[in-house]
Amino acid sequence: MGSLFQILLALFISVIGALYLLGSFRRRRPGEPPLDKGPIPWLGHVLEFRKDTAKFLQRMKEKHGDIFSVQLGGFYFTFITDPLSFGSVVKEARTKLDFTKFAELLVARVFGYHSLENEHKFLQASSTKHLMGDGLVVMTQAMMCNLQNLMLHSVGSGNDKPWQETGLFAYSYNIVFRAGYLALFGNESHKSTGTLEKAKEIDREHSNELFWEFRKYDQLFPNLAYGVLGPSEKMESERLKRVFWSTLSVQKMRSRDNISGWVNEQQQVRADQGMQEFMQDRYMFLLLWASQGNTGPAAFWLLLYLMKHPEAMDSIKNEVERVLRETGQEVKPGGPLIDLTRDMLLKTPILDSAVEETLRLTAAPVLTRAVMQDMTINMANGQEYKIREGDRVAIFPYTAVQVDPEVYPDPFTFKYDRFLTPDGSKKTDFYKGGKKLKYYNMPWGAGTTMCPGRFFATNELKQFVFLMLSYFDLELKNPNEEIPGIDIRRWGFGSMQPTKDIQFRYRLRF
Ligand code: HEM
């Protein structure tokens, strides 16, 4: 009896606790946006949201319009779905709308990392220095050397150039992850291996092992972020975290060559601030995650869209050949490897447009801010809404703008030149309700949390495609196979992944 009573008491306490945490006792105030609490009041819409975020938010947008609040887990989330009004969120001062609280909680739960006081300032300063401008020249060079080490290995040469058949997603993600990882976290030192060739071989093997461990973590990630892993998955995620902490540890990094300024400096800042080394190791995993989880999947979609759209493929091949010609380079048997520089990558407007179009269709982050004080959201149509301290404000640009047919006619079709003007320059004029949009494509987020790696990531995508088209003939195993669907469990986390892989063949051209 005693134990039954205890169970009932525990149940009662946890239900009351859950109700409290889930916020079902709160009241809305006049002027607040419409609230949608879901079929079971205390559960809100959390299950529906998690199952298919895009579908759910699209349904809410159709039901409530430009602004609505949804009870999700412990919080009221107010979603803004009018892109003309995004500025009132992304440009708001941090004293009113802050992202750090939210990000710190997630990072502690998912990566076991406890943040520094000035965390974000350090990240921004070092990203500006090393992932943009002059820093990008160095990173482009490092990326190119590593891409060529991985791409041109075991592909034959001379008369022996067999077709290699594999999954396009597995291939693209693998190559881009490994080259990006080596470019940022450095190479095996040839001083320890004796020769450069041996060091390159170790780079290939080691980065491949790391990729497959990364993929395991990647697949657990959506449930991990929502805090709903089963017991065995939890054990696996703990094991994987330890693998990454050890592989990327400050101690092991000391013996590597060519570590990027980005990684080096951020480690140094933490050491200078007195952060313990085990916590610095955890931060290294966080950097790996932020830098390698999105670009590989995006590279897959880009190459797939090109392979499924011959007109796009031809235009970009012509552009690539033109840029090579202009720099006096030619891919030929026994010839030197391509020297692809940052400058060359600034002369590819058609590829730029195809990258932007790919991200429009396949990058779908949720941008979230914590409301730090009672405040008013001013909508573009002049209406004002009161938002309470402790709530959350969120934007899901994918349904709000990226696939809005009014902004992008035929929104689910890949049009490689959608972001080109008739004179061939970058198109930035997109309209809704007759008004020009400032925020028309947001794969990188916006405002202070906008992805600091966006220029490097764009370069990585362009380098990968540039080299693939220059070195290889490519074809889909079944050219009529449909483009796979999007794995809906990952809405909100950045680059989307396909529901299944698609087989392709590639073979050296020279
Ligand atoms: C296609 C590839 C990529 C996509 C779509 C992407 C997208 C994003 C998005 C949506 C955010 C969050 C923005 C927000 O909350 O407002 C973000 C944050 C971040 N990204 Fe990227 N990213 C990509 C590649 C990269 C790369 C290559 C790096 C580094 C080399 C990187 C480093 C980061 C970091 C450090 C953050 C956290 C920023 C902060 O806390 O303020 N990302 N990224």
Phi-psi region of 29 (alpha: psi -120 to 50; beta: other; left: phi over 0): beta
Angle 250-251-252 from CA coordinates, rounded to 5°: 95
Ligand 1 pocket, CB under 6 A: 103, 120, 123, 131, 290-291, 294-295, 298, 363, 365, 367, 443-445, 449-453, 456-457, 494-495
The atom number, within ligand 1, closest to the CA of 90 reads 16
Residue nearest to atom 1 of ligand 1 (CA): 295
Residue 365 is given by DSSP the state E
Amino acid identity, position 68: F
For residue 236, pLDDT over 90 is answered with yes
The CB-side HSE value for 206 (13 A sphere, CA atoms) comes to 19
Domains, in order of start, for the chain: 1-81 (no CATH), 119-363+409-508 (1.10.630.10)
Residue nearest to atom 20 of ligand 1 (CA): 451
**By C-alpha distance, which of 407, 442, 408, 418 is closest to 315?**
418
Q: Average the pLDDT over 493-508 and give the result.
A: 96
> How far apart, in Å, are the Cα atoms of 214 and each of 218, 254, 411?
6, 22, 32
For residue 75, pLDDT over 90 is answered with no
Distance from C-alpha of 320 to C-alpha of 504, rounded to nearest angstrom = 21
Determine phi and psi for 114, rounding to 5 degrees.
Answer: -105, 120
pLDDT, residue 9, reads 39
In the chain, what percentage of residues exceed pLDDT 70? 93
Tokens, residue 157: 């040469």
The alpha carbon of 353 and the centre of ligand 1 are apart by a number of angstroms equal to 20
The alpha carbon of 99 and the centre of ligand 1 are apart by a number of angstroms equal to 14
The three-class DSSP label of residue 285 is helix
The atom number, within ligand 1, closest to the CA of 457 reads 27
pLDDT, residue 11, reads 40
The atom number, within ligand 1, closest to the CA of 443 reads 5
Q: Average the pLDDT over 109-116 and give the result.
A: 88
Tell me the torsion sign for CA atoms 267, 270, 274, 276: negative
pLDDT, residue 43, reads 58
pTM greater than 0.75 (yes/no): yes
The three-class DSSP label of residue 51 is helix
Residue nearest to atom 22 of ligand 1 (CA): 451
pLDDT tens-digit map of 302-335: 999 999 999 999 999 999 999 999 999 999 877 8
What value does the mean pLDDT of the chain take? 91
